[in-house]
Amino acid sequence: MMTISRTDLERIAVLAQLKLSEDEADGLAGDCQAILEYFEIVREAGAVESEVDGPVGRAAPLREDRFDCDPLVERLEDLAPDWREGYFILPRLPALDADATSDDDDV
Amino acid sequence: MVGAGVSSSYEPVIGLEIHVQLKTRTKMFCGCPAEFGAPPNTNVCPVCLGLPGALPVVNRSAIELAVQTALALGCDVHNRSVFARKNYFYPDLPKGYQISQYDRPLATGGVVELPAKDGSGVRRIRLRRLHVEEDSGKSIHDRFVEQTAVDLNRAGVPLIEIVTEPDFSVASQAREFLDRLKRMLEYLGVSDCNMEEGSLRVDANVSVRPAGSDELSTKTEVKNMNSFSQLEKALESEVARHVAVVNSGGVIEHQTMLWDPARGEARPMRGKEEAHDYRYFPEPDLPVLELADDAVAAAAGTLPEMPQEKLERLVRQYGLPAYDAEVLTSTHELADYFEAVARLTSDPKLASNWVMVEVLAVANERGSSISDLGLEPERLAELIAMVADGDLSHALARQVLSGMVESGTSAEDVINTEGLRLIKDSDELERWVAETQAENPAEVERYRAGEVKLLAFFIGQVMRRSKGKADPERLRRILEKSLGSDPSEDSAMPDTG
Amino acid sequence: MAEPPTRTTHALREELRSRRLRVGDLLRTTLSAIDASDADAAPINAFITRGGSQLEEQAAALDRSFDSGDEARPLAGIPVAIKDNISVRGMPTTCASRVLEAYEPPYEAAAVRRLRDAGALIVGKTNLDEFAMGSSTENGAFGPTRNPHDRGRVPGGSSGGSAAAVAANLVPLALGSDTGGSVRQPASFCGVVGLKPTYGRVSRYGLVAFASSLDQIGPLGRTVEDTALLLGVIAGRDRFDSTCVDSPVPDYTETIDAGVEGLVVGVPREFFPEDLDPHVEALCRAALDRLEALGAVIRDVSLPNSKYAVPAYYLVANAEASSNLARYDGVRYGLRAKDVQSAQAVYRETRGMGFGPEVKRRIVLGTYGLSAGFYDQYYGRGQQVRRLIAADFEQVCATGVDVLFTPTVPGVAFRLGERINDPVQMYLSDVFTVTANLIGAPAISLPIGDHDGLPVGGQFIGRHFQETVVLQAAWALESTISDRPLTGGV
Ligand SMILES: [Mg+2]
Ligand SMILES: [Zn+2]
């Protein structure tokens, strides 16, 4: 049977960028354990060939390459928590080189 | 001897991962303009901003361009492929995931051949996969102090990612591969391939192993190369580092290296201590991407001629040397231009010389493309015909060419307005020859004394006097006659007798 | 002060058309009924946001349009409430979450546009479990909704606000969203009709995603016919949703009274377990008797893998949710934690303070189920079981069964707070509803009686895109039930 340890929980919290207080982490570890135990029943179900279907089992529709976006009716600067000279602003990522963008990284 | 043999006892194993922005009007999953250079955060909508409730819709043109590229590279294009989410947090990744493809990519397989070189045979670079995905936005870290500025104009621009097998054993092969790939992409018209603007981006993974073995060693990823020559340098430097570490008994760590072009070295990327776990899963907002066999066949039927095929055909059809064909096929535009000219002339080799030497020189001088020169193939062909018929000297024809580009008129017009017609009139030529001889009696003496190579000197002098317009054929005959028929010729004879 | 309208949408339409009832008056009585429902020591709290002055203008325009005599739109002047996870212009869309407390969407959901085009008055945004994650409407940041039939009890969830608003006669129609039963389960608890359309029948564009492969917007109404009318307005192709299907939308109300003569109704034995509340079972059996009396053919069937439906559902839904909720990072919109020094701190603090406990629980479980080494045994397993259940359903349909009939929920509305600390018990209230989401089939819940004054719902599950058949069966059954609890405790 699978168990979810505090270490697992901390790893998951980092992946999910989720700050958890000590109390929350304790509660979550217990809850998740109970839920995962309950989920164990699915192991009894039979096997199935895992041919990947789309969500509806049909083909993705293709859009013509035309300017056709749904226009915004509010200004982005009214939406943004922090905005400056046309940019979304947030505190600098630490330990990043000045020219790094995620395309140098993950995309 | 350990020291001397070391570097040759290891061989590099290099693979490339290439991201190419596709030249579509709109983004991959929304109808926003995909153009480069708009004011920040102006080409955005609910979809590419990742607003709650927004959904992706696939751009047909992006798929068509990706399929064409895959076919041109000899990949198997799959009837069914699946979009997947790649989950990670980054300020310029609006949804917290990138829509990409994972275990069911658009295409797999494929080969690019690098021709035989320096005694080595043809090298086959195998392609592992080609898939479509969306670009991220841009995080700008140096605009505001201690702050990251995010521009999402680029978020959602369509990309293809091409992954090679680790089939390169020398850095220069990687560069040659990229040159070829870039040329193919330009021929296909699927991308601008501009590394500076980021429409072509290359990452590499590098490892070394004892020469001849097929063991797997730890590899590092090298990123942030902004030109092919930087890429070559970065690979050489990283290979050297691997060899040095292994030789000193060290162990290569699996990590990402950022190339610093200014310092000429790759440094480990900091801040990557969080192990990546992208939690890929099929994108539930997009059904399977289906490509019918006949649609793929139709795309294959409309593929333009690729650079290598074109090169071979130019050699075959026009009898050009391989070197000429290589230069002429460097861009699709140049090759088309050459063919348009060659069809109108009787001498394809002469046409090749004019296009690859003179026309390219004028274009380079003016920093413009061939089409911007406004030099219609018909007009260049007229000019070449005049040279072939002996109506213009090569030198004069070069002047006419630059006059044609300057004025946008025909060779005939330039010749008339600038008086660049070849002077064939014997009286005039004889007068120039007489004047020249009179001014250079010493050289006349030496010529007549047997220094016949001075003929070139006299031709040059007369040409200068005629501003290049003297008909070279006639001039030569008149000069030879005039220099040889001097009355003093007899008195010079005894010296040699 | 006029009584809140207890009439059906069809009746209201008649009165508006004949100008015995003015849109302006209807709007005012609706808004004051909403206010009154909250002015109580135990407020119903069905709404998070109530429409304001802009509605007056719209109502006036509608009245002029009725005066001119050419107002023929299907929902002209009809007040409609919208679950607060569906984007409506000019109002916040909070999803009952701190993380979106002040977020006003700069665009509108496709379904809402269709409602506006049909002339509806969008009177407010209804309460829900945070991001629709819950079965009781207790998990929101803005307080629980109370069941109009018993204010000490939950209305069900997550579309509890919409169901309560209809049950309390605050509005005749409402939109909810149904990922694992979130329209049908509260409809059952509140004694109203709620329908989950076939996956792909209604555009999800503008519906804040919880679990993308399961979510559907669904209509709630006081009668089957009203629900059918609303479905007809919101259904249909949308170029902004790739999973929305381009198949014709029939007039669901036109054939709704076709009857059930010869209709084969399957009764899956797994949905009538031994520990089923006997009162619920009795009401279901009585309903089946009446269907049979109307000419339906009742047949015992089996969906053997449906016993794995709840865990399979949660494995899939949580995984998708963990990814769908990654965009709430404090960068572009919504909440941002103050006084933080790095981008990572923006994410972690914003998400830590912005999400409530149930959402965090599901993000953690979903992230875990997708993470390296666990995918196959969790998310992947969930998807496999989903296919097994779909195969069971296809097999049953292949034997000629037209619809399935089941209880909607194993019991009646439970007490506020009763299950809030027992997630597994909470999840089990979806045991009969998740199957339709997993297989993408249409399903409806309608009142089939009550127990101790609390409504009990029955569910029809139909074949894909056979909403017409589901509605016909539900209409026929509804017509045999005279004691359905039409009005709540207002
Ligand atoms: Mg990529
Ligand atoms: Zn966009």
ipTM for the predicted complex comes to: 0.95
| pLDDT tens digits for range C413-436 | 999 999 988 888 888 899 999 999
pLDDT at res. B406: 87
How far C369 CA sits from the closest chain A CA (Å)?
Answer: 10
How far C83 CA sits from the closest chain B CA (Å)?
Answer: 13
C206, B148: Cβ pair inside 8 Å? no
Query: What token pair was written down for C266?
Result: 């399957």
* C484/C482: higher pLDDT: C482
Identity of the residue in A65, A92, A103 whose CB atom sits nearest the CB atom of B25:
A65
Å from CA of A67 to ligand 2 middle: 10
Confidence of residue A53 (pLDDT cuts 50, 70, 90): low
- All residues of chain A having their beta carbon less than 8 Å from the beta carbon of residue B144 are 84, 89
Å from CA of B98 to ligand 2 middle: 14
Identity of the residue in C205, C325, C329 whose CB atom sits nearest the CB atom of B53:
C205
Å from CA of A80 to ligand 2 middle: 17
SS (H, E, C) chain C: CCCCCCCCHHHHHHHHHCCCCCHHHHHHHHHHHHHHHHCCCCCCCCEEEECCCHHHHHHHHHHHHHHHCCCCCCCCCCEEEEECCECCCCCCCCCCCHHHCCCCCCCCCHHHHHHHHCCCEEEEEECCCHHHCCCCCCCCCCCCCCECCECCECCCCCCHHHHHHHHCCCCCEEEEEECCCCCHHHHHHHCCEEEECCCCCECCCCECCCCCCCCEEEEEECCHHHHHHHHHHHECCCCCCCCCCCCCCCCCCCCCCCCCCCCEEEEEHHHCCCCCCHHHHHHHHHHHHHHHHCCCEEEEECCHHHHHHHHHHHHHHHHHHHHHHHHCCCCCCCCCCCCCCCHHHHHHHHHHHHCCHHHHHHHHHHHHHHCCCCCCCCHHHHHHHHHHHHHHHHHHHHCCCCEEEEECCCCCCCECCCCCCCHHHHHHCCCCCHHHHHHCCCEEEEEEEEECCEEEEEEEEECCCCHHHHHHHHHHHHHHCCCCCCCCCC
How far A19 CA sits from the closest chain B CA (Å)?
Answer: 14
Is residue C486 over pLDDT 50? no
Å from CA of C283 to ligand 1 middle: 56
Residues around ligand 2, an ion, CB closer than 5 A: A 69; B 30, 32, 45, 47-48
Confidence of residue C16 (pLDDT cuts 50, 70, 90): very high
Å from CA of A101 to ligand 2 middle: 20
- All residues of chain A having their beta carbon less than 8 Å from the beta carbon of residue B201 are 103-104
Is residue C489 over pLDDT 60? no
Tell me which ligand sits closest to the C-alpha of residue B156. 2
Confirm if A4 and A27 have CB atoms less than 8 A apart: no
Q: Tell me, what DSSP letter sits at residue B127?
A: E
Å from CA of B80 to ligand 1 middle: 19
pLDDT at res. A49: 66
Query: What token pair was written down for C314?
Result: 């949660």
Confirm if B110 and B130 have CB atoms less than 8 A apart: yes
Residue of C nearest to B274 (CA): C344
- pLDDT, mean of residues C28-56: 95
Find the catalytic residue in C136, C158, C162, C322: C158
Confidence of residue C488 (pLDDT cuts 50, 70, 90): very low
Is residue C466 over pLDDT 60? yes
| pLDDT tens digits for range C125-170 | 999 999 999 999 999 999 999 999 999 999 999 999 999 999 999 9
A105, B223: Cβ pair inside 8 Å? yes
- All residues of chain B having their beta carbon less than 8 Å from the beta carbon of residue A93 are 91, 139, 141, 148, 271
* Spatial strand order in the sheet of B97-101: B97-101, B83-87, B281-282
pLDDT at res. C487: 47
pLDDT at res. B472: 81
A98 touches chain B (CB under 8 A): yes
| pLDDT tens digits for range C222-232 | 999 999 999 99
Touching B (3+ Cβ pairs <8 A), the chains are A, C
Known catalytic residue at C302: no
pLDDT at res. A107: 60
Highest mean pLDDT among A54-68, B414-428, C1-15, C432-446: C432-446
Torsion sign (Cα): B195, B201, B207, B213: negative
A1 touches chain C (CB under 8 A): no
A63, B60: Cβ pair inside 8 Å? yes
- pLDDT, mean of residues C182-188: 98
| pLDDT tens digits for range C72-84 | 999 999 999 999 9
Pick from B63, B89, B139 the residue to mutate for testing the C interface (most C CBs within 10 Å): B89
Other C-beta atoms lying within 10 Å of the C-beta of residue B363: 18
Find the catalytic residue in C87, C136, C177, C182: C182
Pick from A5, A19, A76 the residue to mutate for testing the C interface (most C CBs within 10 Å): A19
- pLDDT, mean of residues C372-378: 92
C360, A28: Cβ pair inside 8 Å? yes
- All residues of chain B having their beta carbon less than 8 Å from the beta carbon of residue C344 are 89
- Three-state SS at B363: helix
Touching A (3+ Cβ pairs <8 A), the chains are B, C
Pick from A88, A90, A96, A99 the residue to mutate for testing the B interface (most B CBs within 10 Å): A88
- All residues of chain A having their beta carbon less than 8 Å from the beta carbon of residue C199 are 55-56
- All residues of chain C having their beta carbon less than 8 Å from the beta carbon of residue B279 are 322-323, 367, 370-372, 375
Å from CA of B133 to ligand 1 middle: 7
B295 touches chain A (CB under 8 A): no
End-to-end CA distance of chain B: 70
How far A40 CA sits from the closest chain B CA (Å)?
Answer: 21
Is residue A99 over pLDDT 60? no
pLDDT at res. B496: 39
Q: CA-CA distance, C134 to C158, in Å (whole number)?
A: 5
- All residues of chain C having their beta carbon less than 8 Å from the beta carbon of residue B284 are 211-213, 243, 320
Tell me which ligand sits closest to the C-alpha of residue B105. 1
Is residue A98 over pLDDT 90? no
How far C213 CA sits from the closest chain A CA (Å)?
Answer: 6
Å from CA of B154 to ligand 1 middle: 14
Known catalytic residue at C83: yes
C371, B279: Cβ pair inside 8 Å? yes
pLDDT at res. B271: 52
Considering chain C, what percentage of its residues have pLDDT values greater than 90? Answer: 93
How far A81 CA sits from the closest chain B CA (Å)?
Answer: 13
Å from CA of C347 to ligand 1 middle: 23
Angle at alpha carbon of residue C118, lines to C115 and C122, rounded to 5°: 45
Q: CA-CA distance, C251 to C177, in Å (whole number)?
A: 22
pLDDT at res. C169: 95
pLDDT at res. A52: 52
Known catalytic residue at C182: yes
- pLDDT, mean of residues C2-14: 75
Query: What token pair was written down for C109?
Result: 């959901």
pLDDT at res. A50: 56
C332 touches chain B (CB under 8 A): yes
pLDDT values of chain B reduced to their tens digit, one per residue, 497 residues: 334 444 468 999 999 999 999 999 999 999 999 999 999 999 999 999 999 999 999 999 999 999 999 999 999 999 999 999 999 999 999 999 999 999 999 999 999 999 877 667 889 999 999 999 999 999 999 999 999 999 999 999 999 999 999 999 999 999 999 999 999 999 999 999 998 889 999 999 999 999 888 888 899 999 989 899 999 999 999 999 999 999 999 999 998 999 998 888 889 886 544 568 999 999 999 999 999 999 999 999 999 999 999 999 999 999 999 999 999 999 888 999 999 999 999 899 999 999 999 999 999 888 888 888 889 999 999 999 988 887 887 888 888 898 899 888 888 888 888 777 777 778 888 888 888 888 888 888 888 888 888 888 888 888 888 877 888 888 888 888 888 765 444 444 444 33
Residue of A nearest to C439 (CA): A56
Identity of the residue in A15, A38, A72 whose CB atom sits nearest the CB atom of C106:
A72
Q: CA-CA distance, B262 to B54, in Å (whole number)?
A: 42
Tell me which ligand sits closest to the C-alpha of residue B30. 2
